[in-house]
Amino acid sequence: MGKRITMYHDNVNSILPYYEKIARKFDGTKNKHAISEDVIHFLAGGAPKKVPKQMQIIIAGAPASGKGTQCEKIVEEFGLVHISTGDELRQHVKQNSALGVLAKQYMDAGALVPDELM
């Protein structure tokens, strides 16, 4: 896990400047329920259950940081579709598809799967 977290930080630091003007950061040291409340309040524009006309959300975080937990809450609250690249890649690995075979090499090494494969 340590190698994956280091890899995450190395990579995220290079892309953060691009998203700084449009990104919203949340305090990940809070408990998962408090984080969910903060995220949902922000996404709803302060009005609970208000569903925006169009919403594209990217949830980023270190391995095992609760991304999936927060996505479940967002889906539940707003009825959105959740697409997890990690889940998709794991499914391809399980099926031993051509993509899965290539992705597994990166995943086993603790590296990020390149955009070209996604």
pLDDT tens digits, one per residue of 30-88:
888 898 888 888 887 765 555 556 778 888 887 788 888 999 998 988 888 899 988 99
Looking at residue 9, its pLDDT comes to 78
Against a cut of 0.85, is the pTM above it? no
SS3 118: coil
> Do residues 78 and 51 touch, judged by C-beta distance below 8 A?
yes
**Rg of the chain taking only CA atoms, in angstroms:** 16
Stretch 17-36: mean pLDDT: 83
Tokens at residue 87, please? 């889940």
